[in-house]
Amino acid sequence: MASYTKTTPTSLADELVCIVSTSTSADDNITGSTSGTLYLVEVDNTLNENTGIYLNIAEASSATSGTTVPDFRLYVSAGKKSTFTWSEGHNYSSGLSAWVTSSNVYTELSGPSNNVIIKILVTA
């Protein structure tokens, strides 16, 4: 006979941040707070059927796209949706800023033609 343990989970995160982006300009301090833990990022690039994108995330309350070196660069193929998770979370202490490009070089500011929807789960 198999045995198992059943527990009531605590909440994974306390804030869902949703960004609809068409610009290569950075969205500053998207978490609205200076510190917290990043657990999950979902990137919906389904509207860009011919363009893969890079989501750039900087641990900074403000960033300048093309100049600020991102702490994370997450690639999503053309026409796809991807989810990235950190099971233990990634602590940040300066807020998070994000921008989207279509180049694998963070200093290149080319971007997708259509919206990219980004959802981020954090504790703040």
Higher-scoring residue by pLDDT: 3, 100: 100
Residue 111 — φ and ψ, nearest 5°? -140, 175
Dist CA 25 CA 48 (whole Å): 18
The CATH number that domain 15-123 falls under is 2.60.120
Residue-level pLDDT at 89: 92
Dist CA 113 CA 103 (whole Å): 13
**What angle (nearest 5°) sits at the alpha carbon of residue 117, between those of residues 113 and 123?**
145
Domain ranges of the chain: 15-123
Q: What is the pLDDT of residues 79-93, one digit of tens each?
A: 999 999 998 899 999
Q: What is the pLDDT of residues 36-83, one digit of tens each?
A: 999 999 999 999 999 999 999 999 999 999 999 999 999 999 999 999
- Confidence tier at 11 by pLDDT (50, 70, 90): low
